C-alpha cells in the first residue's frame, strides 16, 4: 500500500480544514497511520505461524485460527484507514471543481467578470455540505469498524489461551496466541485513537452547524433591526420655504409634486 500518497493527501487537505480538523489529521497520521506502519504490522507478522495448539492433528490449528481470527486485525485497520481518509479526497475534488469552474468563467466572460465564488475553498453552499457529510461519514466509518471488531473478536481483549473444539480437532484443544500482551496494547491504542477521532469529528460537526445557525440568526436579527429603524409610512409633506412646518389651514407641499390644498390628497 502506498502510504506516501496517503500522507500527501492528508497534507493537501490541511489547507481546507478548520482547526479541529487539523487536530484530527494529526491524530490520524501520527497516532494511527505511523503506528500502524512502524509497529502494528510487525506485531502481527507471526500471528498465524506462532498460533500453536496442543495437538498434532493436521488442519486443527488452521481451523481454530480461522475460528478465532476470521479477519486479520492489521488488514481491517488498513481498510479502516483507507475508508476514513477517502472523504477528505472528496473535499479536495470539490474545491478543484470550483477552481476549474471559476477559470472557465473567466475565460468565457473576461477577467473583469464578477467571480462565481468569493473564495473557491470557502465552505459555503455545496462545499459546506460536502465538508459536513465527509465528517459524518468519517465518524460513521470509525464507529462501524469499532462495532465490527467487537463482534468479530468478542470484545477488544487478547487472551493468552483459547479452547477450540472445531472439526477436525479430535477433542477440545488449547491453542496459544503469540505475544498476547503486546497485541492487546496495540488493540487498545488503536481503539482509543479511533474513539478520539470520532469525538473530534462530532465536535467539528457541532461547530459547523452551530456557526451556520449563528450566522443565519444574526442575519435575520440584522434585517429585523433595519426594518425597525425605517418608519412605517413616509410623510408626504415637506417644510415650508422658511424652514417651519405649515399649519393645517395653509397650503401643504407634497414631496416631488405640485402644491395641493390642505383639505385633501391628490
pLDDT attached to residue 14: 63
Nearest to 84 by CA among 17, 5, 29: 29
Provide the grid cell at 49: 505461524
The domain ranges of the chain are 3-229
pLDDT at residue 231 in the model: 52
**Cα 245 to Cα 238: distance, rounded to the nearest angstrom:** 7
- Output the tens digit of pLDDT for each of the chain's 266 residues: 555 555 555 555 666 678 888 888 888 888 888 888 887 777 887 677 788 899 888 889 889 998 888 888 888 998 998 899 888 778 777 777 777 777 787 777 777 766 666 655 566 677 788 888 989 999 999 999 999 999 988 888 888 999 998 888 888 999 998 888 888 998 999 999 999 999 999 999 999 898 888 878 877 777 777 776 655 454 544 444 454 544 444 443 444 444 334 343 34
Question: Are the C-beta atoms of residues 220 and 194 closer than 8 Å to each other?
Answer: no
Q: What does the alpha-carbon distance between residue 121 and residue 16 come to, in Å, rounded to a whole number? A: 6
The domain over range 3-229 is classified in CATH as 3.20.20.110:
no
**pLDDT of res. 131:** 86
Rounded to 5 degrees, what are φ and ψ at 95? -65, -40
DSSP codes of every residue in the chain:
--HHHHHHHHHHHGGGS-HHHHHHHHIIIIIIIHHIIIIIHHHTTTTTTT-EES---TTHHHHHHHHH-SS-HHHHHHHHHHHHHHHHHHHHHHHHHHHHHHHHHHHHH-TTSPPS-S-TTS--THHHHHHHHHHHHHHHHHHHHHHHHHHHHTSS---SEEEE--TT-SS-EEEE-SSHHHHHHHHHHHHHHHHHHHHHHHHHHHHHHHHHHHHHHHHHHHHHHHHHHS-SS---B---TTSS---TTS-EEBTTS-EE-TT---
CA angle (153 as vertex; 52, 177 as ends), nearest 5? 20
Kindly report the pTM of this predicted structure.
0.72
pLDDT value for 120: 56
Amino acid at each position: 500500500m502506498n502510504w506516501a500518497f496517503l500522507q500527501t493527501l492528508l497534507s493537501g487537505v490541511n489547507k481546507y480544514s478548520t482547526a479541529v480538523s487539523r487536530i484530527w489529521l494529526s491524530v490520524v497520521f501520527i497516532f494511527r497511520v505511523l503506528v500502524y506502519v512502524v509497529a502494528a504490522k510487525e506485531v502481527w507478522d507471526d500471528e498465524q505461524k506462532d498460533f500453536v495448539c496442543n495437538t498434532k492433528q493436521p488442519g486443527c490449528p488452521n481451523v481454530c485460527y480461522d475460528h478465532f481470527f476470521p479477519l486479520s486485525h492489521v488488514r481491517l485497520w488498513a481498510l479502516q484507514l483507507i475508508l476514513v481518509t477517502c472523504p477528505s479526497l472528496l473535499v479536495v475534488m470539490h474545491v478543484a471543481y470550483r477552481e476549474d469552474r471559476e477559470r472557465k468563467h473567466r475565460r468565457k466572460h473576461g477577467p473583469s467578470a464578477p467571480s462565481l465564488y468569493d473564495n473557491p475553498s470557502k465552505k459555503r453552499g455545496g462545499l459546506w455540505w460536502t465538508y459536513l457529510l465527509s465528517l459524518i461519514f468519517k465518524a460513521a466509518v470509525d464507529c462501524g469498524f469499532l462495532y465490527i471488531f467487537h463482534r468479530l473478536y468478542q470484545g477488544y481483549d487478547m487472551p493468552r489461551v483459547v479452547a477450540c473444539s472445531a472439526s477436525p480437532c479430535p477433542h477440545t484443544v488449547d491453542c496459544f496466541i503469540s505475544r498476547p500482551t503486546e497485541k492487546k496494547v496495540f488493540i487498545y491504542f488503536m481503539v482509543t485513537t479511533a474513539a478520539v477521532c470520532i469525538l473530534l469529528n462530532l465536535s467539528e460537526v457541532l461547530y459547523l452547524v452551530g456557526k451556520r445557525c449563528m450566522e443565519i440568526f444574526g442575519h435575520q436579527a440584522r434585517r429585523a433591526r433595519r426594518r425597525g429603524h425605517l418608519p412605517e409610512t413616509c410623510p408626504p409633506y415637506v417644510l415650508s420655504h422658511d424652514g417651519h412646518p405649515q399649519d393645517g389651514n395653509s397650503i401643504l407641499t407634497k414631496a416631488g409634486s405640485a402644491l395641493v390644498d390642505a383639505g385633501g390628497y391628490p
